[in-house]
C-alpha cells in the first residue's frame, strides 16, 4: 500500500486482482496467516456486530437535543441595566455593532479578516469574555470556510460526554453510559429539561467567578 501509484516498479498488471484508493476514514485488514483480506465496510461490519453496541447505547446513553429559545429577556427592557451587564461580561461596542447587530439583521455569520493582533487577555487589566483567554496554535485560515453549517456532511458539533473506558478492555454495557449532545452550547431550556435530573450522576457545577480586588 502506497500513497502514490507507481512507487513499486516492475509490477505485472495482469497479476493485480484489485486496485483502488483508501478514502478518508476508511480502512483495510489483512490476515497474514489465513490470507483473508477485508475492505472498509467488511472490517467495520465485523467489529460492529461483535457486541450489541446499539442496544447498550439505547439503554445507557442520554441524548440531549437542541431546544428552541424561550424568547424571555434575562434583564428586561432597562437599557441602562442591559449595557451595564454587557460591560460586566466583557462585550464591547465593536462586538455589538459589527457582530451581533449584523448577524441579527441578516441572519448570517459575520465575515471578518482572519488576522488577530489583539493583546493577550490574560495580560490585560480589563474584563474579557471567557473565550478571549483561548488562542489557536495552528493555522487559522481555511479556504473555503469550514464549519458545521457549510460542511455538515463532514463536520459536526455533536460530542459525547462521560468517562472514557480503557480501549483495550472488554466492552460492557456499563461503559456505554454517557451523554450525547448536538452542540456544546446549550440554552436554559436544555439545562432544565435534560441536565438537572442527571446532576447526581454526570454533572459537576464549576464556579467561574473570582474574588474582587480590595
73 CA to centre of own chain: 28
The answer as to whether 44 is a domain residue is: yes
Split into its structural domains, the chain has a count of: 2
* pTM attached to this predicted model: 0.58
The answer as to whether 213 is a domain residue is: no
For residues 86 and 104, membership in a common domain is answered with yes
Which grid cell is 2?
502506497
For residues 159 and 182, membership in a common domain is answered with yes
Mark residue 124 as left, alpha or beta (left: phi above 0; alpha: psi -120 to 50; beta: remaining): beta
The answer as to whether 117 is a domain residue is: no
Domain encompassing residue 49: 24-64+155-164+173-198
Can you list the residues of the chain whose pLDDT is less than 70?
Answer: 1-5, 112-116, 136-146, 194-203, 213-214
Distances (CA, A) of 92 to 110, 111, 112: 16, 18, 16
Mean per-residue pLDDT over the chain, rounded: 80
The answer as to whether 115 is a domain residue is: no
Amino acid at each position: 500500500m502506497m500513497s502514490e501509484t507507481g512507487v513499486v516498479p516492475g509490477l505485472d498488471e495482469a497479476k493485480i486482482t484489485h486496485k483502488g484508493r483508501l478514502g478518508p476514514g476508511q480502512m483495510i485488514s489483512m490476515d497474514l496467516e489465513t490470507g483473508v483480506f477485508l475492505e472498509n465496510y467488511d472490517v467495520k461490519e465485523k467489529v460492529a456486530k461483535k457486541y450489541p453496541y446499539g442496544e447498550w447505547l439505547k439503554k445507557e446513553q442520554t441524548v440531549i437535543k437542541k431546544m428552541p429559545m424561550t424568547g424571555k429577556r434575562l434583564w428586561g427592557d432597562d437599557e441602562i441595566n442591559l449595557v451595564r451587564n454587557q460591560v460586566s461580561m466583557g462585550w464591547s461596542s465593536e462586538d455589538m455593532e459589527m457582530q451581533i447587530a449584523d448577524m441579527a439583521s441578516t441572519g448570517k455569520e459575520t465575515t471578518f479578516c482572519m488576522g488577530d493582533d489583539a493583546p493577550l487577555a490574560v495580560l490585560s487589566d480589563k474584563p474579557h469574555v471567557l473565550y478571549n483567554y483561548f488562542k489557536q496554535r495552528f493555522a487559522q485560515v481555511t479556504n473555503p470556510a469550514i464549519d458545521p453549517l457549510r460542511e455538515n456532511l463532514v463536520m459536526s458539533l455533536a460530542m459525547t460526554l462521560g468517562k472514557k473506558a480503557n480501549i483495550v478492555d472488554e466492552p460492557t454495557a456499563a461503559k456505554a453510559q454517557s451523554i450525547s449532545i448536538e452542540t456544546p452550547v446549550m440554552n436554559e431550556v436544555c439545562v432544565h429539561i435534560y441536565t438537572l435530573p442527571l446532576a447526581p450522576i454526570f454533572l459537576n457545577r464549576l464556579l467561574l467567578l473570582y474574588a474582587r480586588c480590595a
